[in-house]
Structures are given as structure tokens and as C-alpha cells.
Structure 1
Amino acid sequence: MKKLILFSAIILLASAFSSCVVLSPKKYKALLARQDSLNTGWSGSQLSNEELQNAISRLQRDTANLSGKLNELNGKYNEIDGNYAKLRTNSSSEINKLSEDLKKREQRLKEVEDVLRKRDEASNQLKEKLQEALLGFTKSGLTVEMKDGKVYVSLTDKLLFPSGSIVIDEKGKQALAQLAKVLKEQPEIFIAVEGHTDSQKINNLGQIKDNWDLSVLRSTSVVRYLTEVEKVPGIRLTATGKGEFQPLGSNANAESRSKNRRIEIVLSPKLDELYNLIKK
């Protein structure tokens, strides 16, 4: 552009000389002013051009940075998309697995419920048989009831033993004989014999030191009678003594203490089937 301006000035001068026209001072000043204006415009255009070049460079750098960030974001998006796809696949597999596990548990629960129902039915039948077989002893303090799927036959000490004794009397033997008939017909029943006492201290009973001794010895007397005399298999029986620590009453008076002195025969059906289900 500078060359253009110089060329224009030369043409103007050439024209002036070629025409042999003598410029007046006014026209000469106008020409100089015109030249200064052109020079100023050239300088301004040069400055604007520089600024544009700088702006272009900045835009190119920004574009390159944005392009890099866009590529990075695309990479992260692809990674997230891949993880999401995997998660959906895994979630579907996990949901299917959980659904199968739930079905298996529901089936096991149904099987357990069936076993418990059969147990309760068997216990109720046993209770009815025992109530019928032992009906004649209910007035002597014998009771039969069912709790938690087990049948409890409770015999007061006056039905089985003389006062302070561990030797079963004749009436007690009759009750145990009737009980044994039913038990021998029910080979799948476990038999736990528990001795209980009141809280009164033991005095002058020779080898019997305290209520623990009395409860255990009375329990073992019943077990021996059932196994040795009535031939109930010993493998089905256990003998335990609870002493005074599981009373039915308060021990505050003679009547309550009489209820606490008892033998409880706890009958429970075998639960092998239930245990096998639980272990699965």
C-alpha cells in the first residue's frame, strides 16, 4: 500500500511538471496534507493488520485447546458409556441371580412351613393320645399341654414320690406305665425328663444335699423306671435337674410350692428334616 501511495504522489508530481503548471502554495499544501493523510492511513492499517493477526493466532490457539478438551471429553464419554453398558449387563445378571435366589428361598420357606405344620399336627395327635391315656391321673395333679411345638406332661411330686423321697410310689408307677405305652408307639419322639423343686431348703435327707440333688435324682428315677421297667429305649431319653430355678408359682405359700415340686416330661418330635432344610 505504501508503494501505491508513493506511486500516486509521483503521478501527481509528474502531472504537475508535465503540464508545466506551477502549483500555487495552496495547492502544494493540499497535496502535502493529502500525502500525510495517506501515510497516517497506511500506519493505521498496518496496526489493524497486526491486531488481526494476533487475534487470529489467539483464536487458533483457543480452537486447538477446545479441540483437545473436546477429544478428552469424548474419550471420557466413551469410557462412561462403556461402563454403563457393562453395568447394565451386570445388573441384569445380578437381578436374574437375585430372582433365582429368591425363588429358592421361597421354596425352602414353604418346605420349612410344611415341616413345622407336620410337627404341630404330630404333637397335637400325641397330646390327644396322652390326655386320653392319662385321663385317670388328672385329678392327682397331672397335666398335658403343648407349647412351641412340644408336648409337656407335668406330674406333681405327690403323684410320683412320697414326701422328701426319690423312690417312685405305686400310683406314680401306674401313671408312668400309661405314659410309656404311648411313648413306645411314637418312636420318633425325644423324651426329656426335668426335675423341679420349690425354694425350701433341704433338711435331714441323707445323701441329698440340696434342691439340685433332689431335682436331679427324682429325674433319673423316672428315667430308670421308663427304661428298665417299661423298656423305653434309653437313647431317646435325657434326665436333667432344674432345682428351684424354674418355678410355676411364687413359693409364697404351700399351694404354690406344691405346684413347683414336679416332674416335667417334655416330648419333642425329631426335626432332622427341618435341620436338613436349614443347612441347605
Structure 2
Amino acid sequence: MIKRVSVALLVMALATSCVSKKVFKDLEDKYANLKKENRTMADENAALTAEKNKLDLQGKNLQAELDKTKAERDKLAADYAATQSTLDNLKKSYAALEKDSSSALDANVKKNRELLAQLEAKEKALAAEQERLNKLKTELQDRSARVNELESKIAAQEAGLTALKDKLSKALNSFEGKGLTVEQKNGKVYVSMENKLLFGSGSWIVGAEGKKAVTEVAKVLADNPEITVLIEGHTDNVPYAGNDQISNNWDLSTKRATAIVAIIKDNKKVDPRNLTAAGRGEFAPVASNDTAEGKSKNRRIEIILTPKLDEISKLLNDL
């Protein structure tokens, strides 16, 4: 509107060339002021438009918040109604329970008494079981002590056997390679002598070299009176074909074992009660009788040294 007025005034001014310079200058100033006022109003209009847009956005946000608040209010109202209904039901249930409380209390008292009786019975059973466990624990400790003692004695006995084997090996060292071996196994010491060291064919008379070997064994036995000695005679499977004094290999093996016992017994420090002679004949071979070498190994005397097991047997029986 202002713009149109300004243009009209300018046209009139130009149309009336007879207008004075003062009037023209005033018109020109008014025109400049109007332009300035127009720009100011345009700026204000833009600011107002921006403010309007901002207010519109805030209005939308407030509307959304309002809608959200209404939804929450409706939910709370529904929850309140449900809670109120639950409360009413609880009140009814409480009233029913209160009405029956006397009978329920009596039933609970009876049940509690039963539970207490069961508890007392279980406590007694637990005490009895604990007493039994304590007794078993004591027995286990005693048995463990006896086992430890037994293991100690067995270890000492094993060490003693090793020492005995070493003494025999040293004493019989000069007979090495002559059919004599010393071996420790199964808690015993075995001195094995082939017949070629001890006897002639079909004979039970011990030769000079064999007698020396047996005498050395006797010396070691004299220093170990707690050792029991089993002397076993063995033959090959060739039937005995000698004189009438011997009927078979079994007789021959027994006579040979007895001959070894006699030599050992000549050492007065050896207790004869520790000596046993036994004939095994051909029935405990250590090699095949199909070869000459095997037969030679089977024709032998075995001196089996066993420590006395009285203390160990007693400990075993006590376990």
C-alpha cells in the first residue's frame, strides 16, 4: 500500500515540472523514509512468521504430550480399577480365612506337633549315626596305623632280603658261570645250583666244588637265624635208571635235597629247625626238556630263603 502511494507521488512530481526544489526534496525524503519503514516492517513480518512457526511446533509438541498424558491417565485408571478389584477379592478371602482361622490354627498346631516329633526322631537317629561314624573313624585311624606299621615292616623285610641276596652273591662270587645264580623275587631269595656243580650223573653225593658253594651258603645262613630255608631237588624228565636204592626221579631229587641239608647242618650256628628238604622230581622245570641245555638247567638244587612272617601275619590278622 505504502509502495503504491510512493509511486503515485513520484509520478505526480514528475508530471508537474513546475514543482519547487524544496517540495521535491521533501518528497524525496519521504520516499526514503517510506522505503526504510517498508524494510523494517518486512523484517518484523519475517520475525513474526518465524515466531509463528515456532509456536506452531510447540503447539504440536504440547498436543502430543497431552495425548500421551491422556493415554497414561487412562492406563492408570484401568490399573486402579484392576487393583481395586484385586483388593476387593483379597478382602473377601481374608474375611473367609478369618472366619475359618480357629479350625486352621488347630490343624496347624497338630501338624507342628507331628513335625516336632519327626524332628526329634531324626535328631536321635542323627546322633546315633554320628556316634557310629566316630567309632568308624577311630577304627580307621587304628587300622591306618597298623597298615603303616605293616608297610614299614614289609619295607624293612624287603631291605633285609636285598642285603641277604647281596651277601650271598658276594659269598658265591667265585662260582659265577658254573651253573649258580642268586635271585630275589616274590619276597624270597633263590639260590639255584645246577647239578653239574653239585652231583655226578645219577648220584646224590655232593662233589668237592659243590660242597664249597653250599658251605658258603651255610655261613650266610648262620648270620641270619630268622630265615627259613627250603631246599628243593629237581631233575629232568629222563627216567632214573640207577641202582635199587632209588626207584625214580622223585626219590633221586629228594636224596639230593637231603644231601644239601646235611652239609648246611654241619654249620653248628645254623638252626636245623629252619631247614626243610623237598624233592620235586621232574615236575617243576624251568626250561624245556627237549634240548640238552634245557635238561641241564632243570637238573638243579634250589635253596629258597624266606623271612619269618610271624609279625607280618599277626598285623594282617589284626587288620
Q: Equivalent residue for 2:188?
A: 150
The code of the aligned residue for 1:172 comes to G
Cα drift, residue 230 of structure 1? 2.5
Mapped partners of 2:281, 2:193: distance in 1: 15
1:184-263 residue pairs with structure 2 within 5 A?
A: 184-227=222-265, 229-231=266-268, 232-263=270-301
The code of the aligned residue for 2:234 comes to H
Mapped partners of 1:198, 1:107: distance in 2: 49
Mapped partners of 1:75, 1:219: distance in 2: 84
Identity %: 42
Q: 1:79 to 1:244 in 2, by over 3 A?
A: farther
Contact 1:164–1:205 (Cα < 8 Å) also in 2:
no
SS of residue paired to 2:136: helix
Contact 2:161–2:188 (Cα < 8 Å) also in 1:
yes
Q: Equivalent residue for 1:162?
A: 200
* TM-score normalized by the length of structure 2: 0.63
The code of the aligned residue for 1:252 comes to D
The code of the aligned residue for 1:169 comes to G
The code of the aligned residue for 2:281 comes to G
Comparing 248-257 and 76-85, the one that deviates more: 76-85
Deviations 1:83-103 (A, max 9, x none): 211111011111111111111
Mapped partners of 2:200, 2:133: distance in 1: 68
Cα drift, residue 68 of structure 1? 8.9
Q: Equivalent residue for 2:125?
A: 87
Ranges in structure 1 where 5+ consecutive residues have no aligned partner: 1-62
The code of the aligned residue for 1:111 comes to E
Mapped partners of 1:271, 1:233: distance in 2: 17
Ranges in structure 2 where 5+ consecutive residues have no aligned partner: 1-102
Mapped partners of 1:195, 1:95: distance in 2: 55
Q: Equivalent residue for 1:57?
A: none
Cα drift, residue 109 of structure 1? 0.9
RMSD, aligned α-carbons: 2.2
1:22-33 residue pairs with structure 2 within 5 A?
A: none
The code of the aligned residue for 2:267 comes to E
Say which one has the larger Rg.
2
Cα drift, residue 156 of structure 1? 0.5
Cα drift, residue 272 of structure 1? 2.4
The code of the aligned residue for 2:229 comes to I
1:31-50 residue pairs with structure 2 within 5 A?
A: none
Mapped partners of 2:144, 2:133: distance in 1: 16
Q: 1:138 aligns with which of 176, 181, 185?
A: 176
Contact 2:190–2:303 (Cα < 8 Å) also in 1:
yes
